[in-house]
Amino acid sequence: MNTVVAKLQRQFQDYLVSLYQQGFLDNQFTELRKLQDEGTPDFVAEVVSLFFDDCSKLINSMSRSLERPENVDFKQVDSGVHQLKGSSSSVGARRVKNVCISFKECCDVQNREGCLRCLQQVDYEYKMLKTKLQDLFNLEQQIVQAGGAIPQVNIN
């Protein structure tokens, strides 16, 4: 039983570290994990879920604003990017946040093509992260079900 838990914990730790190393997550995700405790065991999952919902909604509305070349509402797009940058920053979604930085630049110069590219990229990145974190949470669940504790992972 112990070796099963130890193996899962090791898997979890390695996976989480790889997400940082590959740039999916940054230090803010570590800060987020600090806020979770026995009293709030689902905090990270809930916040992350809120973030992905935000991504979906904002990407849809920005897509509509960018749809017609002759009538782009850049103000709306800018507002969407601002919100997306804020939420991605709050949860530590590093790649998503970085795309938002480029996205804002395209928006500032009213570059519709650039915006469309960034929109596509942001969509790709958030969905990729969603899959990765789902795998991470699944590992967590397995550890808990096997009677183990979620490791505190220190990232330098």
Partner 1 sequence: MGMVRESQFHVLAVDDSQLDREMIERLLQKSSCQVTTVDSGSKALEFLGLRESNDPNSLETHQEVEINLIITDYCMPGMTGYDLLKKVKESAAFRSIPVVIMSSENVPARISRCLEEGAEEFFLKPVKLADVTKLKPHMMKTKLKKEGEKVAEEENATSKPEESLVVEMILPLNQELELEQQEPMLSSNKRKAMEEVISADRSRPKYNDITTSV
State the residues that interact with partner 1 by CB under 8 A: 28, 31-32, 34-35, 37, 40, 43, 46-47, 50-51, 54, 82-83, 85-87, 89-91
Q: E strand or H helix at 129, and its extent?
A: helix 112-145
Q: Packing angle between helix 27-34 and helix 43-66, nearest 10 degrees?
A: 130
How far apart are the C-alpha atoms of 140 and 118, rounded to whole Å? 32
Coil vs helix vs strand at 93:
strand
| Residue closer to partner 1, measured from CB, 32 or 116 | 32
Q: Are 15 and 136 in contact (CB under 8 A)?
A: yes
* Contacts of the segment 39-46: beta carbons below 8 A, 24+ positions apart: 45/137
Smallest distance from the beta carbon of 131 to partner 1, in angstroms?
20
How far apart are the C-alpha atoms of 9 and 4, rounded to whole Å? 9
| Residue closer to partner 1, measured from CB, 16 or 48 | 48
Smallest distance from the beta carbon of 81 to partner 1, in angstroms?
12
| Residue closer to partner 1, measured from CB, 46 or 67 | 46
Smallest distance from the beta carbon of 28 to partner 1, in angstroms?
5
| Residue closer to partner 1, measured from CB, 8 or 94 | 94
Smallest distance from the beta carbon of 154 to partner 1, in angstroms?
15
| Residue closer to partner 1, measured from CB, 40 or 141 | 40
Dig out the tokens for 29 from the structure: 């995700």
CA dihedral 97→100→105→110, nearest 10 degrees, is: -170
Smallest distance from the beta carbon of 46 to partner 1, in angstroms?
7
